[in-house]
A and B are shown apart, each in its own frame.
Chain A
């Protein structure tokens, strides 16, 4: 079912106010109006389902480790595998979104990874366990399609909020699963199944949920406010871009690499904690499986407000202080997350641990939301690739952190958590180096050179041949709309002009 807009002449009607690219300028949470809010709800629910599946194993590990005769090393390896698959999957997803559209890209991935979740029920050894966790982890690449989709549907004033809420409510799955899986397991066991069978049956729940959400995306979603990629490409409204150019402009943008690293130390840390926290509380404080699951869940559940809060905060700071405000807030919040992580590893009592963990989760997840308040502005042509790099970097951070601190029995979990906090603080420093000529960086103001405008920045991604063919039109519109990133005091003096590209740039 495609909601098709009318022909080029008549202005299509949208339920929300839109800008020149037909992206919504408002974010109305309780609406499901096509295409903007509907895309929002479809994307966060399907991403949520993928998170539930990827982290369905950790809360049941005390049972699974006995059934499959796992050692601590096996568990650590599986945890690393669960987040390493998505490193390249996220990059591939970014490119797929640029080329095929987020709807097809995400639904395909979800339906291709659903079988793996079903096969978790028949895992019978450490190796098979590692394999199912590895392939299930690929589904976390739907994060990129979520952010891409939101960045395509929502305009600059609300893009941070849209990205933050969609990402946060999707990440919620990592927390919800710590509650859902022990509950489902308990239910099935009480009906009469043996422990070692009950956990297997329990895995059907996340698998079915994932499958159904993909169907919904395919049936009710569309790529852009004006329609789906294929149809727009056929009618000439959207130009089909070349993979090599899109990829090139993405990976040569140094800001993408810095954000990839720093995202590894907010989101990567979040993934690591999702993998280790239930077992940490179960083993260290001798809790029941159910109780450890509830505590572990509260970490992921903070996402309901913390990541969206980060996105909203980014938009608020962007409105007042422009891009510089977004960058400063991101660095501050992420560094504070590192401080609380250090404290978490040091506290000894259960109640203090829970309290510190919740504070830590709020800061770390807000940093994730703040990161994706910056990402949409790094590139317009290669938005997918940049989103994919950043998202992939998140998973690299999770892999590296688990490899160094949480594999085998080298460090106790408490020590690992403290050291991870130190690493967060160190790896957030590169944010100081991000600089946009038209908006400035953390320590430098915008360049006063004449060629330092939004148009120059985004047009630099297109060659003059491509501009002659008119392929850059969408980027031009985006450049105009992004002028708000100069901040309130500057923006009010700058009149929005009909941007014409310089003659021979």
Chain B
């Protein structure tokens, strides 16, 4: 009896330390208490080269104490609706554990009551798409409790585009062409050699 209770207790404690214990958080339940702005040199940005400057802070129109639970701020780069069309791997879900809208982390820092600014060079693995910036306020258990974004609720304003790197290099192109030519030439070579051997056998 005691052993069973101990086992149950053990399982519960274990479960609480695993991800599955956490309650499902829905985006629609979060309050938009943060003000986020993102500025960039031009509308079309290049991955690996251009920088985005992000500023965030608490919206002062909310009562004091709203941010008592905020411990960390996570700022992310998120896909705009136009870049989510026909791409189920970028789909927006209300359940945040399933949501795939925001796949790139810009910065994650402890929360400060004053406005914070951060400059971020766009990483080279960011794909070509249209984006906006969203900041989540996380509590001590790393759970989202509030958010803010630089666009409106429908995600239509203040969007910007990022152009990805191609990933191609001249050396790769040359290597491809050379190896391909080699395969075809080798085939011709074999045919030629076979024909000569066949001709010799006849004589």
Task: State yes or no: do A and B come from one complex.
Answer: yes
| Residues of A near any B CB (own CB < 8 A) | 62, 65-67, 69, 71-73, 104, 107-108, 111-112, 114-115, 118-119, 121-122, 124, 194-197, 199-201, 204, 207-208, 211, 214-215, 218, 230-231, 234, 282-283, 286, 408-409
Kindly state the separation between the CA atoms of A258 and B179 in the bound complex, as whole angstroms. Answer: 41
A283 to B177, CA, bound (A): 35
- Collect the chain B residues with CB atoms within 8 Å of residue A408's CB: 86
- Verify A196–B180 contact, CB threshold 8 A: no
Query: In whole angstroms, how far apart are the Cα atoms of A505 and B55 in the complex?
Result: 92
* B9 contacts A by Cβ under 8 Å: no
What is the 8 Å Cβ interface bit string for chain B, positions 57-98, against chain A (1 contact, 0 not)? 000000000000000000000000000011111000000001
20 contacts across the A-B interface (CB closer than 8 A): A66-B164, A69-B128, A69-B129, A72-B87, A73-B86, A104-B194, A111-B184, A112-B187, A115-B184, A121-B172, A122-B172, A195-B167, A196-B124, A197-B167, A200-B172, A208-B179, A211-B179, A230-B198, A408-B86, A409-B86
Give chain B's interface residues, CB within 8 Å of chain A: 85-89, 98, 124-125, 127-129, 164-169, 172-173, 175-177, 179-184, 186-187, 190, 194, 198, 201-202
Smallest beta-carbon distance B149→chain A, Å: 22
Residues of B within 8 A of A199 (CB): 167
B183 to chain A, nearest CB (A): 4
Contact B86 A71 (CB under 8 A): yes
| Contact across chains for B86 and A200 when beta carbons are under 8 A apart | no
Q: Is B164 touching A67 in the complex (CB atoms < 8 A)?
A: yes
Most buried by A among B164, B166, B187: B187
Are B86 and A72 in touch, CB under 8 angstroms?
A: yes
Shortest distance from the beta carbon of B180 to any chain A beta carbon, whole Å:
3
Secondary structure of the A contact surface, majority rule: helix
Contact A204 B179 (CB under 8 A): yes
Question: CB < 8 Å: which of A107, A111, A118, A194 contacts B125?
Answer: A194
> B164, A230: Cβ atoms under 8 Å?
no
- Pick from B98, B169, B176, B190: contact of A107, CB under 8 Å: B190
Contacting pair A115 B87 (CB below 8 A): no
- Nearest-CB distance from A121 to chain B (Å)? 5
Q: Check if B169 sits within 8 Å of A197, measured CB to CB.
A: yes
Q: In whole angstroms, what is the CA distance A195 to B48 when docked?
A: 12
Contact A218 B127 (CB under 8 A): no
B122 to chain A, nearest CB (A): 13
**Which of B87, B164, B179, B181 contacts A71 (CB under 8 A)?**
B87
For the complex, what is the distance from the CA of A124 to the CA of B173, rounded to whole Å?
A: 12
| CB–CB B187/A108 < 8 A | yes
In the assembled complex, the Cα of A119 lies from the Cα of B177 at a distance in Å of: 7
Residues of B within 8 A of A115 (CB): 179-181, 183-184
